[in-house]
């Protein structure tokens, strides 16, 4: 799954990376601990090309009677997204990209505690997560725009940390993911599969990220060694005693 992520980039970097323009003239604050129910930046196809907007994280279908259902729908599983009523129209006609610096997962430790781990592109560049969006009208005539993140089974390397992972779109898949003329499963399956070719790196971070209250650069500060999916942790050199206390599966 994907339960927290980071959006700490400048707007001009989105224009360079995703060719996106800002739809709403709003200053974007750096976020280091985006949580469900909060507004986050998304990129969707607009009349003049990809555009940036801000939607609430947690998909609320147009037919939902209670918007609080969004807290249970922050992720959509790739394996069932085509069949579930909550997602089957969005996967075909309302797709978006969630631009992130990285995302967090929590690794169970032997002492029954969990270690927060931060994941990002191996080269540190921005990642585009596959997302779905919806709009729901309320009784007052307003509209609620929401989104969720598509997840898939973990790659062999990612499985050291978690059984699921968000779909990270490859550079080639990004424009097609926003292309409204592509809506059949045969069109979209290759785009979702492109995630498995992207190399990541991971490192442990402090328990500060466990609390939504904290949303600052300290959330992404390493507290142990980093691992990349093209290297074996067993081959690393000697590490400090503090680093050895962080146990990663290998």
> How large is the average pLDDT for residues 194-214?
93
This prediction's pTM? 0.89
- Average pLDDT along the chain: 88
Q: Which two tokens stand for residue 42?
A: 């998304």
Residues 6+ apart with CB under 8 A from 128: 17, 18, 43, 97, 98, 99, 100, 168, 169, 174, 177
Cβ proximity of 131 and 38 under 8 Å: no
CA dist 131 and 81 (Å) reads 11
- Residue 132 domain-assigned (yes or no): yes
- Residue 213 domain-assigned (yes or no): yes
> How large is the average pLDDT for residues 199-209?
95
CA dist 250 and 247 (Å) reads 9
- Residue 110 domain-assigned (yes or no): yes
CA dist 40 and 103 (Å) reads 13
Is 225 in a helix, a strand, or coil?
A: coil
CA dist 202 and 124 (Å) reads 11
Question: What per-residue confidence (pLDDT) applies to 197?
Answer: 87
Which range among 73-77, 98-102, 227-231 shows the weakest confidence by mean pLDDT?
227-231
Band of residue 26 on the pLDDT scale cut at 50, 70, 90? low
Residue 231 confidence (pLDDT) above 60: no
CATH of the domain at 161: 3.90.1680.10
- Residue 40 domain-assigned (yes or no): yes
Say which residue the tokens 């939607």 belong to.
55
Active site residue 105: yes
Question: What per-residue confidence (pLDDT) applies to 247?
Answer: 53
Is 159 in a helix, a strand, or coil?
A: helix
Q: Count how many domains the chain has.
A: 1
**CB neighbours of residue 197 within 10 Å:** 11
Q: How far, in Å, are 14, 97, 166 from residue 47 at the CA level?
A: 18, 16, 28
Measured in degrees and rounded to the nearest 5, phi and psi for residue 90 equal -65, -40
Question: What per-residue confidence (pLDDT) applies to 192?
Answer: 94
Question: What per-residue confidence (pLDDT) applies to 230?
Answer: 66
Say which residue the tokens 């492109």 belong to.
194
CA dihedral 57, 213, 154, 50 (to 10 degrees): 40
- Give me the percent of the chain exceeding a pLDDT of 90: 68
User: For 141-153, how does the pLDDT look when each residue is reduced to its tens digit (9 = 90+)?
Assistant: 889 999 999 999 9
Question: What per-residue confidence (pLDDT) applies to 25?
Answer: 52
Q: How many residues does the chain have?
A: 250
- Residue 249 domain-assigned (yes or no): no
Q: Could you list the residue range(s) of the whole structural domain that residue 44 is in? A: 4-244
The active-site residue, picked from 78, 105, 134, 219, is: 105
CA dist 89 and 82 (Å) reads 8
- Residue 118 domain-assigned (yes or no): yes
Cβ proximity of 96 and 132 under 8 Å: yes
CA dist 100 and 129 (Å) reads 7
> How large is the average pLDDT for residues 160-178?
94
Q: Report CA Rg, the chain.
A: 18
The active-site residue, picked from 2, 51, 96, 148, is: 2
Question: What per-residue confidence (pLDDT) applies to 22?
Answer: 67
- Residue 225 domain-assigned (yes or no): yes
Cβ proximity of 230 and 122 under 8 Å: yes
Question: What per-residue confidence (pLDDT) applies to 20?
Answer: 81
Question: What per-residue confidence (pLDDT) applies to 243?
Answer: 35
- Residue 250 domain-assigned (yes or no): no
């Amino acid at each position: 799954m994907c339960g927290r992520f980071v959006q700490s980039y400048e707007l001009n970097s989105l224009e360079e990376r995703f060719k996106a323009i800002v739809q709403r003239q709003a200053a974007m604050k750096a976020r280091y601990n985006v949580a469900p129910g909060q507004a986050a930046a998304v990129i969707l196809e607009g009349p003049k090309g990809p555009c940036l907007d801000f939607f609430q994280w947690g998909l609320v279908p147009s037919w939902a009677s209670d918007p609080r259902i969004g807290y249970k729908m922050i992720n959509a599983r790739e394996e069932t997204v085509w069949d579930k009523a909550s997602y089957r129209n969005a996967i075909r006609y309302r797709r978006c990209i969630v631009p992130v610096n990285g995302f967090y997962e929590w690794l169970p430790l032997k002492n029954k505690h969990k270690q927060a781990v931060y994941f990002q592109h191996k080269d540190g560049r921005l990642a585009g997560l596959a997302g779905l969006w919806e709009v729901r009208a309320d009784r007052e005539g307003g509209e609620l725009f929401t989104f969720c993140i598509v997840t898939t089974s973990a790659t062999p390397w990612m499985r050291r940390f978690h059984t699921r992972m968000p779909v990270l779109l490859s550079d080639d898949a990004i424009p097609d993911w926003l292309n409204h003329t592509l809506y059949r499963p045969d069109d979209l399956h290759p785009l979702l599969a492109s995630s498995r070719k992207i190399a990541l790196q991971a490192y442990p971070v402090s328990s500060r990220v466990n609390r939504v209250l904290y949303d600052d650069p300290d959330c992404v500060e390493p507290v142990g060694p980093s691992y990349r999916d093209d290297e074996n942790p067993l081959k690393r050199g000697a590490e400090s005693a503090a680093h050895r206390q962080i146990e990663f599966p290998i």
